[in-house]
Chains A and B, each alone.
Chain A
Amino acid sequence: MSSHEVTMDEELKKNLFLTTVDTVYNWGRKCSMWPMSFGLACCAFEMIGVAASRYDCSRFGMEIYRASPRQADLMIVSGTVTQKMAPQVKRIYAQMAEPKYVLAMGTCAISGGIFTSYAVLQGVDEIIPVDVYVPGCPPRPEALIQGFQRLHEMVMKQSIRTAPWYQKSPTSSI
């Protein structure tokens, strides 16, 4: 994977890969993302269907659903977020350690779905930043897997220099 001409011994060439730090960093992150079990409503059952044997999500490294937000990377908001539940969603998102990603699954999480009523938050992006939206009511398991693939593409394009969780102070070149 090298783009520069480097002279190496023949044996070394078989045992060495030359690549960028970003690629390795993103590849490790993409292949073992641990979702948090945050099933709220009906979409949770399609998410469980993705984790089951027919649409296996273990091939993406995602079969370990951590219960505690402190140990998870990805929050799949699956289901309706009601006004009563919204502060807890915010608190759980704040508890997750960076880098963290959010996938809004289903139309209820994207925009309130068919429930335009006094008790439903019209979209979870009012309270937390969302990376990938997967529409459907509920989205088929194949649609959720496409959502995962989009998320992986997004993760592969990240760079350490511009990743938001490292921007605590003015950026300096690495």
Chain B
Amino acid sequence: MKSQKPIFVLLCLLLTGCWDQHLLKNAVLVQILSLDLTDNEDLLLGVSIPIIEEAAGGPQALVKSETFSAKGHTPRDSRRKIDREISGILDTSKNKLILFGEQMAASGIYPPLDVIWRDPRNSLGATLGVVEGEAVNLLNITPKHETNVSEYIQDALTSAEENSIIPNQTIQTLASEMLDPGEDIVLPYLKINNKKSAVVVGLALMNEKKYVRSISPQDSTLLLLLNNKKGKYARFTKQVNNDEEQKLKNYITFNVHKMKRKLKVQVKNGEVSVNIYSHLKINVEEYPKGDVPKEIDHLNEALSKELTKEANQVVTKLQQSNCDVFGIGRRLIALHPKTWDMLDKKDYFKNIKFKTNVKVEIIKNGIVL
């Protein structure tokens, strides 16, 4: 019948056309992306894909990793070349880790990341990292206790986050900070150890999306505390005495339990000065000398002095690298817009006068004195 023709046509279209199908069984998932700069300024893209082996005994299948890499002008260009080597379609929607080699990071991380934001299927919960040397080498490590490289690195980063060595951020939370003229970002810095493990050695300081230098783990923790971004734990081991025979007894290990930070920006005649005051309430975890309450005042004073000195060193390093991680520039734009207009947008951070003060207070010391 005539009136049934349109229904037939529609049905045929519905049943045959599944234009947007991305079948899971045909997709090859990318777990880590690595970006490196080659000698002639081209891009070296590395991908790590999981290999699932059938579960012989037990419900969970064993997952291993395999690495592929290719050179190209842009990330997508290189990806097409890798696609030709792989059976199946490369799919980055589950990519959780993007690593930059040192050189690549130094020349600017924002442009290669454009494709991540542009494609709707990409995961915006990925973490970024900078690797010493070439990032591709990190994909080839073979740790023994965890067969899948992506799992291994992600877990390492998660535990570093808990220990306040690196901040908790994803590529989306970084986006606005990257584009903000008054703020700079810091990324985790990783090192390869004997081809068997990856070590998170602290933070990489970035100046306007370009990598400058890295800082040590203890400095990283201190920096995060100064920036009011404490993770679950923040542990330090510091020297408080220097006259004990056994060297061990000169040190104290503590965990920051609670902290309060005050940051004040003052503007006088076009000169910007910043006061950072941080009050740390700590939990003594290890004091080989013993008997904390007897020396509590001495310890508080010594630790405050030590941490203040180190904080000043950290701030100096920041200023030398021109990395405005505190977002002072953003505060100026928001609260002192006229002053901001007068300042040099690129180097304003170097000319700011910082005064840092850290006060330490011991509140707990475990179940013995």
Q: Do A and B bind each other?
A: no
Q: What residues of chain B have their CB less than 8 Å away from a CB belonging to chain A?
A: none
Residues in A lying within 8 Å of B, measured CB to CB: none
